[in-house]
Chain A
Amino acid sequence: MSPGKASNPPREAVLLVGAGYGALKVAEDLSHAGIPVLWATRAAHFLELPDSVEPFEQWPADLNYQFRPLYLRVTRHRLVTPLTQARLESVSPHGAGYDVVVAQDPKYIDYDLCTGCGRCSEVCPLDQGEAPPLSRTPGYCPSRALQLDKRLISPCRQGCPLGVNAQAYLALTATGRFDEALEVIKRDNPLLGVCGRVCHHPCEAACRRGELDQPLAIRDIKRFLFDYAAQQGPPTLPRPAAARRDQRVAVVGSGPAGLCAAHYLNQAGLQVTVLEALDQAGGMLRAGINAFRLPRKVLDAEIQALVDSGVEIKTNRPVEDIEALLAQGYRAVLLTTGTHQDLRLNIPGEDLAGVEHCVTFLAGVNRSGQGKVGPRTVIIGGGNSAMDAARTALRLGAEQVTVLAIETEDQLPAHPEEVRQAREEGVVFRLGLAPVEFTGGPAVNGIRLRAAHWESSPGGPPRLVFDSEQIEDMAADCVIVSIGQRPHLARHGLDAQLTLGPGDRLAADDRGRTDRPGVFVAGDVVTGPSTVVDSMAGGRRAAYSIIEYLGDPAAGEHWYGLAARGVGDYPPIGEDVPQQPRQEMARRQPKVRRRDFDEVDLGLSQAQAQAEATRCLQCGVCCECQACESACADIGAINHFAVGRRHQLRAPAVIVADRAELPDGVELGGDNVFWVEADHYSADLMDVLMAGGSAAGQAMAPAASLRVESVEPAPAAAPAGDPSRLGFFLCACNQTMAPAETLQGILQRAAAVPEVAHCELIPSACHPDGADRVARALAEKNLGRAILASCACCPINFACISCNDQRTRVRRHLFDRRGLERSRFELCNLRDHINDGRLSQDQVMERAMDLLRAAFIRSRYLGPLRRGDTELGNRILILGGSDIGVSAARNLAVQGFKVRLVHRCAIAGEELPEAVAARPQARGLEKSIVQVDTPVEITGIKGNIGDFTVTAKAGGRGRRWKADLVCLTDENLIPLTIFAGRVGLKKFYRYDFAFFHTPRMGIYRVMPRTLQRVDAFRAGAALAGEVATAAAKAYLNDHQLSPVVDPLRCRGCGRCAEICPFDAAVLRENGDGTYTAEVLRHNCVGCGGCVGRCPVTAMDIPFFSNQVLMSMVAGRLSKER
């Protein structure tokens, strides 16, 4: 398909800024006059009124419906490039015109593709909420397209080093969609089981719910999801879809950083091998974290999932030589060796028996399940590892476990939750004390302590300050020093092969790149001891750096761009949001759990998890779960990663419909800026529209050089096919039409109809692919006629007030783009009438078949529509030299029309009004305007648009003028076309908002009301604009429904002529005193009133022929079906 206009705007066009009805009128007139328009507004749609505008006083209740066809015609016109949520960035004069830059916000939904099926909304977990992210565009916008409200990325997601989309999985969990929630997590976190248990959840710290009551228990929900899935089977990770490239990467170390990096490398299609020095993978996850916090089966299962997804893990493979690895064919090496060497206190007695160091201690216990502590065990240090050591000591049988730390309670580096659990289990805390010596020998039996605290020192690490000289002795049979770790690179001799930074850590940039090409580092070995999730994020960053290094520069684009992507603000927390406590997990009792290494936390129940997830405030509005994107896969209209665009263009004229949309500080100057102004703030709609028409008319003069033929070039006609072969196409509307079995049932029933030669289910009829499928089937199966059951229902040219974007797109794709003959199609609106939501399958089926019965009846009477067009010249005759007439004449002459102005006119037999007679001749009219000044009596206007003959008498002499279009610009001439008491005039033009029209196509007039609205100059410009729209069409199409008369049947009774307010049905004398009716093709509007009046059915009209209507009654009402 051709790309949408919005993605491919013109380089040269009139710029129209601002939304509203006046702007709509501008865009209508300009585009219909053949002049390209780029229409930009900050609003979400073009009828959004500026705040400052009062509601119109004279606003007919149903006006919005009447604007629909206009809105559609204009926004989908091929010469209009409509940009919503777009700002004028700069305007600078260039010659007589302007250079313009327009910036547009990201468009997450492509309105050239969106079919408005609403499936996105159905699958959206937040659609039922108070602020649904997906909403229909406003009621009076004829598009059923949806809008997506995306704000800043939620704080929880921003707070997560991995950028895990917590908002999305909370939303999905709240609605019980656990599998999808898991998928969301897996996008950003391959170790969700681990993180669901041991993550320090910075997301919760960022959670805005904390401002109201307590943050969401995000981690616990993640754990619930993992456990939920574990009940169904072992965890899985997606196998990479991309073909595996022959590029091998080695990851050294299998801790969180290494595993996470391996996952993303694998997902990118690289061949990853993880080399682990120990006999089991997991790194610090296994060595440093206790089984009662992280059960081994969880860790093992997740590592197995990684292996199953294609990651190769080799254990017992210490790496000592990086060069050798590269030489083995690894294109890149990632070092994630962690920090497995304990820091020492370096105080006397540290080497006594019974003094252990934390990592060594924990690794021993965790790996072999063995460890020895004394009855009185003291843990030195206040971090998470210290808590682990303390609780492990309890489980190993220590009678009393004391944690000794310099920090105060508030300063403890361990997570408060860990501290709390340790306390519950009986761990005693002694704070503000620093060990100065271990006593005893050969085994330790005590610790000497001094009161101390940390003092921060500017620019350096905090400094230990002793508070007193007093020394306290504390008994201890076992001491575990837990004050931190450092890399152990020296153990394998790696330290010499790479540049080291502070603390013997490896030096690298913030994306894990070292100064050696192909060598990358991540995790604690770079950062020093940190958290699981931070290590994983480091691994992921390094993975993207590697993928980038191996040739895909966009690898981490979306992830890195996460925070920058959001726009707008979070919605404020409503005052009516009730406080609601956070759900707590069930835990084993402290006295029981301290007896073994079984897991302490029991997890949230399903009800708890859902209740907790429901507390989420959904800060970002759209949670970006992307369920909608999946649902829209066939349509392809949704892109969550869309970016904003800037458009540059040259504008010969600028029209401003709303001053407030001009950028701050921009002063627009020059001759070719026009304002839909003053009146814009009027409370009268007609004033606003008139101002729009006027601005458009004025802009046409400088923009005349851009004029192109407004009528779209017709594509090559598709072959006609065999009319006896009927195709039946059913639009599934992206699976929203009806349940699949109902659709199949309909297809089966349709296939059984004898004339049906082909049946097909079309995923979406208004989508370009849908039209292509229909066109292909018609050609391949030689089908002469087709029924398309969708939402389209059009008997006319897709311009009635029930129409919408989808229906017009069916037309555009099938008829305009594919060149299929309109008259071969019967369009049936199933979608809107098939189901009111209360019907059973059978009833839906029955109703569908009832609607289709009508379609089948109609399809039998498909036949050629009235076709034909009239070429228009550019001769314009203006009768009446009022100020409006003169203004219009000037404008039209500048636009290149051949204008004749007749100055003083009266209708034959009537007095020339004094005001007209006394009016001075207009001066300074361009020479191109032929001015006839003599007082003239108009005796008649004969003919039709494109071929008028005006007869007149002037100075006793007869005159005749030929013209394509005629304007009556003095009031006294109006009775020439609008007869007193004529029906059908008052409201007709309301639908087109074409003020200057008369019932006779091609004759324009000025009504007194016009003058009250705008000054004569601007009224003239508006008139000129209106005239130019007709003239520039160059071709005028016949109304497709225009009736035909059978002259052998017509009695010439004239009832048709009597009823037609448009002078379309006329009687012609046959030369023998008899008359026959004739339908004038241009004037006809296709209502069929004349056909209904005909007593002898001598007239007939396509689509609503006598035969069709008769068969419809008989076929649909009778019981024989």
Chain B
Amino acid sequence: MTLDSPEIKRIIQERSLYMCLECGKCSASCPRMLTGKEYSPRLMAHKLMVEPEDEAFIEHSLWECLTCGLCEERCPSGVEYTQLMLELRIHLAQAKGLMGERAHDGALHSWMRMMTSPEMRQNRLEWITPELRVTDRGDTAFFTGCAPYFDIFFAGIEVDTLAIVKDSIRLLNFLDITPVVMGEERCCGHDLLWSGDQENFETLCRLNYQEFQAAGVKRVVVSCPECYQVLSGYMPQVIEGFDLEVILLMDLVGEQVRQGGVSFKPLARRVTFQDPCRLGRMADHVRQPRFLLEQIPRLTLGEMASHGRGSLCCGNSAFVNCDAYSKRIQVTRLKEAEATGADMLVTACPKCMIHLCCAMRDPHQGEPLAMEVCDLISLVAEHIQWAQSEKPLAASQ
């Protein structure tokens, strides 16, 4: 099979690749390329259009892309490069069984695929403690994501992504919302989708949607940008008649802050913020996190060399193709963070937290890069309080 099939031509066409001016801004901005990897979005574009017979190159490069979207951000011609990669991955995964080099030997993909079984009866809510108010039926659901699983799997690098989830519920409770937390929630499917496994992704979407419907949910609150991207962007494409409102928790909190009535406890620290690609560039949420950080008295935000929509990726997405260059991106990013003079790195995506922590736990290079890492939601949850009350939220535990 060659790569100049009508289907590939169609994908290229739809993603505006033919608009490419071959200006090279994509490659000039690509973090992979910049850390020395033999990978070039510009060359990939060229091969796809002009030399589709170079299968080896295209099939290899396809999985090299971080899908961070920075090239797309810079592209003057509006080539939807990230979406192009996604669709090509899906197409070639189906057609040729390609799946790229999976980090952690594919362990995460394994459990994500296992969740496509409708018969599963998970025990995923055991971490819920009595002071977290949740329900199994209601208007508003909180989508927890894979945090409970990550923390077990990544016990070696000592991340606590479950804290983000707990703090999210705490925040919702603070806002007087008792969210539905579904015992049979599945992985949102983001990593399967972005590694090309559309079939299992769609199954997960359907199973999750069934659960939402069964619980009578109308509105879904999410804290993870990847879950947000899937639920707001891709799930509606899979589910016919999708009628859920999907909202980021930070937006919900931001709304409340703007309405007034809440205040924040002070935190005298210099922090810096890691923009997750699915949040900043893809969901255009550059301002909201910074707005929330600004609410915390005495907290100063130092911006890294690259930030906002031009932010540097945490080094990997969808647990595909993590390698020496991923590490270099992480090191670069952590050095940028260090250069801000901050002593705390605020993240907004559990994957960013995992990837950057992994680089920090490196016995050879980690020591100088190590920095406290805290998720935005946790930071907000820890410091938010009702304006009249002296009692901080944290004390109610």
Residues of A that sit less than 8 Å from B by CB? 1047-1054, 1058, 1067, 1073-1076, 1095-1098, 1106, 1110
Q: Give the Cβ gap from B106 to chain A, nearest Cβ, in Å.
A: 7
**A1053 proximity list for chain B (CB < 8 A):** 327, 358, 361-364
Interface residues as binary, B29-60 with A (CB distance below 8 Å gives 1, 0 otherwise): 00000000100000000000000000000000
Contact of A1073 among B324, B363, B365 (CB under 8 A): B365
| B323 near A1095: Cβ-Cβ < 8 Å | no
Q: Give the Cβ gap from A1120 to chain B, nearest Cβ, in Å.
A: 13
| A1074 near B324: Cβ-Cβ < 8 Å | yes
Q: How far, in whole Å, are A1013 and B333 apart by their CA atoms in the complex? A: 59
Tell me if B265 is interfacial: C-beta within 8 Å of chain A.
no
User: Known: A1047-B324, A1049-B323, A1096-B323. Contact between A1054 and B362, CB under 8 A?
Assistant: yes
Ordered by A's residue number, 10 sampled pairs between the chains whose C-beta atoms are within 8 Å are A1048-B324, A1049-B324, A1050-B324, A1051-B327, A1075-B364, A1095-B103, A1095-B104, A1095-B322, A1095-B358, A1096-B101
| A1051 near B322: Cβ-Cβ < 8 Å | yes
| A1106 near B105: Cβ-Cβ < 8 Å | yes
Tell me if B144 is interfacial: C-beta within 8 Å of chain A.
no
Tell me if B229 is interfacial: C-beta within 8 Å of chain A.
no
Contact of A1052 among B102, B104, B322, B362 (CB under 8 A): B362
Tell me if B133 is interfacial: C-beta within 8 Å of chain A.
no
Closest 7 CB pairs of A and B: A1051-B327, A1049-B323, A1054-B363, A1096-B322, A1075-B364, A1053-B362, A1096-B103
Tell me if B27 is interfacial: C-beta within 8 Å of chain A.
no
**A1097 proximity list for chain B (CB < 8 A):** 101-103, 105
Interface residues as binary, B83-126 with A (CB distance below 8 Å gives 1, 0 otherwise): 00000000000000000011111100000000000000000000
Q: Give the Cβ gap from B317 to chain A, nearest Cβ, in Å.
A: 14
**A1106 proximity list for chain B (CB < 8 A):** 105
Tell me if B328 is interfacial: C-beta within 8 Å of chain A.
yes
**B327 proximity list for chain A (CB < 8 A):** 1051-1053, 1074
Q: How far, in whole Å, are A1051 and B324 apart by their CA atoms in the complex? A: 4
Closest to B326 in A: A1051
* Chain B, range 359-373, C-beta contacts under 8 Å to A: 361-365
| B324 near A1054: Cβ-Cβ < 8 Å | no
Closest to B101 in A: A1097
Q: Give the Cβ gap from A50 to chain B, nearest Cβ, in Å.
A: 53
Q: Give the Cβ gap from B285 to chain A, nearest Cβ, in Å.
A: 29
| B364 near A1054: Cβ-Cβ < 8 Å | yes
Residues of B that sit less than 8 Å from A by CB? 37, 101-106, 322-328, 331, 358, 361-365
Closest to B363 in A: A1054
**B328 proximity list for chain A (CB < 8 A):** 1074
**B324 proximity list for chain A (CB < 8 A):** 1047-1052, 1074, 1076, 1098
Closest to B322 in A: A1096
**5 additional A-B residue pairs with CB within 8 Å, beyond A1052-B362, A1054-B363:** A1051-B326, A1053-B327, A1074-B327, A1095-B103, A1097-B103
Closest to A1075 in B: B364
Q: How far, in whole Å, are A1051 and B360 apart by their CA atoms in the complex? A: 12
**A1067 proximity list for chain B (CB < 8 A):** 364
Closest to A1098 in B: B323
Q: How far, in whole Å, are A1075 and B331 apart by their CA atoms in the complex? A: 12
User: Known: A1053-B327, A1095-B104. Contact between A1074 and B322, CB under 8 A?
Assistant: no
| B362 near A1049: Cβ-Cβ < 8 Å | no
Q: Give the Cβ gap from A881 to chain B, nearest Cβ, in Å.
A: 38
The winner among A1048, A1053, A1106, A1110 for most chain B CB atoms within 10 A is A1053
Q: How far, in whole Å, are A1051 and B37 apart by their CA atoms in the complex? A: 13
**A1054 proximity list for chain B (CB < 8 A):** 362-364
Closest to B38 in A: A1048
Q: How far, in whole Å, are A1053 and B325 apart by their CA atoms in the complex? A: 12
The winner among B37, B102, B358, B365 for most chain A CB atoms within 10 A is B365
Q: Give the Cβ gap from A962 to chain B, nearest Cβ, in Å.
A: 29
**B325 proximity list for chain A (CB < 8 A):** 1048
Closest to B107 in A: A1095
**A1076 proximity list for chain B (CB < 8 A):** 324
Q: How far, in whole Å, are A1109 and B301 apart by their CA atoms in the complex? A: 48
Q: Give the Cβ gap from B296 to chain A, nearest Cβ, in Å.
A: 34
**B105 proximity list for chain A (CB < 8 A):** 1097, 1106, 1110
Q: Give the Cβ gap from A536 to chain B, nearest Cβ, in Å.
A: 80
**B362 proximity list for chain A (CB < 8 A):** 1051-1054
**B103 proximity list for chain A (CB < 8 A):** 1095-1097
Q: How far, in whole Å, are A1095 and B324 apart by their CA atoms in the complex? A: 11
Closest to A1070 in B: B324
**B106 proximity list for chain A (CB < 8 A):** 1110
Closest to A1050 in B: B324
**A1110 proximity list for chain B (CB < 8 A):** 105-106
Closest to A1054 in B: B363
Contact of A1075 among B104, B323, B365 (CB under 8 A): B365
**B102 proximity list for chain A (CB < 8 A):** 1097
Closest to A1092 in B: B105
Contact of B365 among A1047, A1074, A1098 (CB under 8 A): A1074
Q: Give the Cβ gap from A439 to chain B, nearest Cβ, in Å.
A: 118
User: Known: A1051-B322, A1051-B323, A1096-B322. Contact between A1058 and B101, CB under 8 A?
Assistant: no
Q: Give the Cβ gap from A1052 to chain B, nearest Cβ, in Å.
A: 6
Q: How far, in whole Å, are A223 and B101 apart by their CA atoms in the complex? A: 79
**B37 proximity list for chain A (CB < 8 A):** 1048
Q: How far, in whole Å, are A1053 and B322 apart by their CA atoms in the complex? A: 12
Q: How far, in whole Å, are A901 and B326 apart by their CA atoms in the complex? A: 50
Q: How far, in whole Å, are A1054 and B37 apart by their CA atoms in the complex? A: 21
| A1058 near B363: Cβ-Cβ < 8 Å | yes
Closest to B106 in A: A1110
Q: How far, in whole Å, are A459 and B102 apart by their CA atoms in the complex? A: 105
Q: How far, in whole Å, are A606 and B106 apart by their CA atoms in the complex? A: 70
| B104 near A1049: Cβ-Cβ < 8 Å | no
**A1049 proximity list for chain B (CB < 8 A):** 101, 323-324
The winner among B37, B103, B326, B364 for most chain A CB atoms within 10 A is B364
The winner among B103, B104, B105 for most chain A CB atoms within 10 A is B105
Q: Give the Cβ gap from B338 to chain A, nearest Cβ, in Å.
A: 14
**A1096 proximity list for chain B (CB < 8 A):** 101, 103-104, 322-323, 326
Q: Give the Cβ gap from B93 to chain A, nearest Cβ, in Å.
A: 15
Q: How far, in whole Å, are A1075 and B103 apart by their CA atoms in the complex? A: 19
**B365 proximity list for chain A (CB < 8 A):** 1052, 1073-1075
Q: Give the Cβ gap from B364 to chain A, nearest Cβ, in Å.
A: 5
**B322 proximity list for chain A (CB < 8 A):** 1051, 1095-1096
Q: Give the Cβ gap from A361 to chain B, nearest Cβ, in Å.
A: 101
Q: How far, in whole Å, are A1095 and B321 apart by their CA atoms in the complex? A: 11
Q: How far, in whole Å, are A1050 and B326 apart by their CA atoms in the complex? A: 10
Q: Give the Cβ gap from B223 to chain A, nearest Cβ, in Å.
A: 25
**B361 proximity list for chain A (CB < 8 A):** 1053
Q: Give the Cβ gap from A1092 to chain B, nearest Cβ, in Å.
A: 9
Q: How far, in whole Å, are A1051 and B101 apart by their CA atoms in the complex? A: 14
Q: How far, in whole Å, are A203 and B328 apart by their CA atoms in the complex? A: 93
Q: Give the Cβ gap from B356 to chain A, nearest Cβ, in Å.
A: 13
Q: How far, in whole Å, are A44 and B125 apart by their CA atoms in the complex? A: 66
Q: How far, in whole Å, are A1110 and B325 apart by their CA atoms in the complex? A: 25
Q: How far, in whole Å, are A1073 and B359 apart by their CA atoms in the complex? A: 13
| B364 near A1052: Cβ-Cβ < 8 Å | yes
Q: Give the Cβ gap from A463 to chain B, nearest Cβ, in Å.
A: 106
Q: How far, in whole Å, are A1097 and B63 apart by their CA atoms in the complex? A: 15
Closest to A1051 in B: B327
**B326 proximity list for chain A (CB < 8 A):** 1051, 1096
Q: How far, in whole Å, are A1076 and B36 apart by their CA atoms in the complex? A: 15
Q: How far, in whole Å, are A1054 and B364 apart by their CA atoms in the complex? A: 7
Q: Give the Cβ gap from B10 to chain A, nearest Cβ, in Å.
A: 31
Q: Give the Cβ gap from A525 to chain B, nearest Cβ, in Å.
A: 92
Closest to A1046 in B: B323
Q: Give the Cβ gap from B358 to chain A, nearest Cβ, in Å.
A: 8
**A1058 proximity list for chain B (CB < 8 A):** 363
Q: How far, in whole Å, are A1047 and B327 apart by their CA atoms in the complex? A: 12
Q: How far, in whole Å, are A1058 and B104 apart by their CA atoms in the complex? A: 17
